[in-house]
Amino acid sequence: MPITYGNLTPEDVQRLGEELDAIRHRVVSELGQEDVDYIRNIIRTQRGLEVAGRAMLEFGWLPPLWLGGTAALSVAKILDNMEIGHNVMHGQYDWTRDPALDSKAFEWDTACPADQWRHSHNFMHHTYTNILDMDRDIGYGILRMSEEQRWTPYFLGNILWATLLMLLFEYGVALHDLESDQVLTGKKRLDLTMLRQIGAKVGRQALKDYVIFPVLAGPGAPFTLAGNATANIVRNIWTFSIIFCGHFPDGVQEFTPEEAANETRGEWYLRQMLGSANITGNRLFHIMSGNLSFQIEHHLFPDIPARRYASISAEVREICERYGLPYNTGPLHRQLGSVFKKIARLSLPWVGNAPLNRRWSAQTPAAPTQPSAGTVEVEAEPELIAA
Amino acid sequence: MRTLSPSSNRLLRNPLVDLMVGPHGIDRYLELIRPTLTVHDARARVVDVSRQTPRSVTLTIDPNRAFTGFRAGQFVKVGVEIDGRRYTRTYSPTISEHNTELLELTITVREGGIVGSWLREHARPGLLLHLSEAAGDFLMPERRPGHVALISGGSGVTPTIAMLRTLMSEGHRGRIDFVHYGRTPEDFLYRDQVEAIAGRHPNVVPQFIATRTEGRRFDVDTVPASAHALVCGPPALIDAVRGVFPDATAETFTPPTLDVSGAAAAGTLRFLASAVSAPIAAGTLLEQAEAAGLSPEYGCRMGICHGCTCTKTAGTVKNVLTGVISDEEDEEIQICISVPVTDVALNI
């Protein structure tokens, strides 16, 4: 059964796709000097903050320098991961043909090897967005984020696991493509090459943040180390918060592999719109969130420079209104509050998971185009909640 | 240019420093102080611009330490940024290979060419250029022959000028025939310079021939038979020279031809890393690579994830999503949404 919404006919969905394609073509044809200038300006700011932060933390035993250094390094790492790394690796700047902005070559200041991220995120998550059992970003394999997920006593700790994932997010992301949860349950073999790559990247990052820069500070080493660790954790909390607000607030939909099988381009667009949520905020907030606060626009046009999402969003909103589609958005505290409420609710065994409602079998289907034989018949559509 | 002392250069390439500036690398920080301060990325600043003919521009450029030099006849890939996009073209430096301080490039403006016309109009002292290492095997023998004939057509003059200037700086005593073919006398590049050299050195014998007005072609009478001939120019000139000097060292260039009329272009796909070639068929480059028995990396197969992005080293492709046609050298393309327009070489 193809993805649809409300009273939309297949022709409506096709028209929707054509309208979005038209926006895409227009924006792509407008890309030029100002987009490159923008990202280079962000990069200059990030590198400047990084150098300043590390320099201050070499004298971290002086409290103002510790605070200033930790703040500068935290912001530098957030900019590096979000507005620069995430977006460059999506190919948003490949058209510039600048090797420093090349999606295939870029490496970022976090534990996850860029190559593995490009696979788990750009391909798995962006192609199979919010398809249960295919989009591994749903719960990251360790949380219960959907009523369709079978409850086990392990999920009593849903809030605790989410909090740990938040604090250690960079390591969670690093292990993501390894599918360690599947490895632990014996469903998948451990990929040693990938594990070695992760080890090498984690090692280099740890050497830099926890050995070399602290040692250079001499007797002030513990202060430098504490500052670097704090910056990494601040970055972890921030990126976790932004990313979890992208797909898990109230009203965001999930899909079954059967629904997404053989979908058209219009249906793909529709799934991206129904499966994503935005966060409202000022310009600085959008930059610090890598413009992932425009998650809906990002999922429609993942390889268009993110600075363009703000202006595109007015058109997307207007399209949503015209087609009667929800446009899920809200301030950070509300979106994040609703995410944590969901995490808490889903730790309880009696929420969701009614056997008759379970439309999705415990086995992972091979691909969306090959639904597993004997799939339980769909009993009811999930509730559709407009924002 | 001497931007850094050798010891600081060594320090900046140290593995410990590399860890500290990881994962971006030292150049990504140095370039923020000054773009040419990089130790790995070869770059240059334009220091002088002149226009010898109505259809060319000559740049004197100051390469940074990362540029490792060249041999006369070799080419360098030169990148220039126009409206946020980097365009890369190959040019042969036109100075003596023993001159390591400044390079000279002469760029011919072709009909519809983006880079040549932009440089002719906009190149100013201070313009930043990105350089590759020098490459190419159009070279004079290490042991210089006594009698050398340097023959060129059109912009093929650039490597032969480098050879002439190299021989002069080496104090070459033997005869040097310098033969250049241009469409009209207006198009002759380096005529003044070559004649000035010939004025000082009687062993240099220049001939500048306008093909449109004189119609004189290369034959047995053009250059004495004792010469070691080197020729750079269009295929017809190479053939004419090889008719007289079968052992001539030759390099040709063919301007890219664009055929966007037919649905599937006729031609060849070359997959360089796998050493496989296949005639162009219907479908995307990804499908055609798979049909040729390769398994390139891919993800979404719909132009979203950039998982299939690879380097196209030559040829023209069309993006089926945007309709954009591009013929850049060394361009990253998404093969799941690209179809070939001409012969295409991919690094897969």
Give the pLDDT confidence of A149-201 residue by residue, as tens digits: 889 999 999 999 999 999 999 999 999 988 888 888 888 889 999 999 999 99
| Alpha carbon of A33: minimum distance to chain B alpha carbons (Å) | 4
Cα nearest neighbour of B32 on chain A: A44
As given in the structure block, the two tokens for residue B94 are 């036109």
> Distance (Å, rounded) from C-alpha A19 to C-alpha A16?
5
Q: Using the beta-carbon criterion (under 8 Å), do A122 and B322 form an inter-chain contact? A: no
The dihedral formed by the CA atoms of B229, B235, B240 and B242, expressed in degrees to the nearest 10 = 50
pLDDT confidence tier of residue A55, bands split at 50, 70 and 90: very high
CA-based max dimension of chain B: 67
Q: What's the start-to-end Cα distance of chain A, in Å?
A: 24
Considering only the beta carbons, identify the residue of B19, B88, B299 that sits closest to A208: B19
CA-based max dimension of chain A: 70
CB-based contacts of B169, cutoff 8 Å, min separation 6 = B96, B98, B99
What mean pLDDT value characterizes chain B?
90
- B65-79 CB burial, b ≥16 within 10 A, e <16: bbbeebbbbbbbbbb
pLDDT confidence tier of residue A267, bands split at 50, 70 and 90: very high
Q: Using the beta-carbon criterion (under 8 Å), do A98 and B32 form an inter-chain contact? A: no
For residue A140, the model assigns a pLDDT of: 85
pLDDT higher than 90, residue A372: no
Q: Which residues of B touch A303 (CB under 8 A)?
A: 304, 306
For residue A1, the model assigns a pLDDT of: 67
For residue B282, the model assigns a pLDDT of: 87
Count how many pairs of residues, chain A against chain B, have C-beta atoms within 8 Å: 100
pLDDT higher than 50, residue A377: no
Q: Which residues of A touch B20 (CB under 8 A)?
A: 208, 212-213
| Alpha carbon of A21: minimum distance to chain B alpha carbons (Å) | 9
Asked whether the beta carbons of A126 and A292 are under 8 A apart, the reply is no
- Quick one: residue A55, left, alpha or beta (phi over 0 = left, psi -120 to 50 = alpha)? alpha
> Distance (Å, rounded) from C-alpha B42 to C-alpha A98?
14
A4 vs A228: which has the higher pLDDT: A228
Got the DSSP string for B291-335? HTT-----SSSSSSS-TTEEEEEEEEEEETTT--EE--TTEEEEG
Report helix, strand or coil for B76.
strand
Q: Using the beta-carbon criterion (under 8 Å), do A44 and B332 form an inter-chain contact? A: no
Report helix, strand or coil for B63.
strand
For residue B233, the model assigns a pLDDT of: 93
Would you give the distance in Å from CA A168 to the centre of its chain? 15
CB-based contacts of B314, cutoff 8 Å, min separation 6 = B329, B343, B344, B345
Q: Which residues of B touch A108 (CB under 8 A)?
A: 23
Tokens 């015209």 belong to A322
Question: What's phi and psi for B262, nearest 5 deg?
Answer: -75, 165
Asked whether the beta carbons of B78 and B91 are under 8 A apart, the reply is yes
Q: Using the beta-carbon criterion (under 8 Å), do B305 and A122 form an inter-chain contact? A: yes
pLDDT confidence tier of residue A379, bands split at 50, 70 and 90: very low
> Distance (Å, rounded) from C-alpha B24 to C-alpha A44?
13
Cis peptide before B185 (omega within 30 of 0): no
Q: Which residues of A touch B309 (CB under 8 A)?
A: 91, 94, 103-104
Cα nearest neighbour of B321 on chain A: A25
Taking CA atoms, A26 is separated from A20, A222, A316, B298, B322, in Å, by 10, 53, 14, 26, 10
| Alpha carbon of B83: minimum distance to chain A alpha carbons (Å) | 5
> Distance (Å, rounded) from C-alpha A98 to C-alpha A95?
8
Considering only the beta carbons, identify the residue of B16, B87, B304 that sits closest to A303: B304
For residue A386, the model assigns a pLDDT of: 35
Q: Which residues of B touch A97 (CB under 8 A)?
A: 79, 85-88, 328, 331-332
Asked whether the beta carbons of B94 and B135 are under 8 A apart, the reply is no
| Alpha carbon of A107: minimum distance to chain B alpha carbons (Å) | 6
Q: What value does the mean pLDDT take over residues A361-387?
A: 34
Q: Which residues of B touch A94 (CB under 8 A)?
A: 306, 309, 332
CB-based contacts of B333, cutoff 8 Å, min separation 6 = B285, B309, B310, B311, B312, B317, B319, B326
For residue B100, the model assigns a pLDDT of: 77
Using a CB–CB cut-off of 8 Å, the residues of B that contact A are 16, 19-20, 22-24, 28-29, 32, 41, 79, 81, 83-88, 299-300, 302, 304-307, 309, 322, 328, 331-332, 334
For residue B304, the model assigns a pLDDT of: 80
What mean pLDDT value characterizes chain A?
89
Q: What's the start-to-end Cα distance of chain B, in Å?
A: 37
For residue B4, the model assigns a pLDDT of: 60
For residue B10, the model assigns a pLDDT of: 79
Task: Give the helix, strand, coil percentages of chain A, each rounded to 5.
Answer: 65, 5, 35
CB-based contacts of B69, cutoff 8 Å, min separation 6 = B97, B100, B134
The number of beta carbons lying within 10 Å of the beta carbon of residue B338 is 24
| Stretches in chain B below the pLDDT threshold 50 | 1-2, 255-263
Task: Give the helix, strand, coil percentages of chain B, each rounded to 5.
Answer: 25, 30, 45
Q: Is A384 exposed, middle or buried (0-12, 13-18, 19+ CB in 10 A)?
A: exposed
Considering only the beta carbons, identify the residue of A102, A126, A302 that sits closest to B332: A102
> Distance (Å, rounded) from C-alpha B170 to C-alpha B34?
35
In 3D, which of A270, A310, A328 has the Cα closest to residue A14? Answer: A270
> Distance (Å, rounded) from C-alpha B258 to C-alpha B80?
22
> Distance (Å, rounded) from C-alpha B177 to C-alpha A337?
83
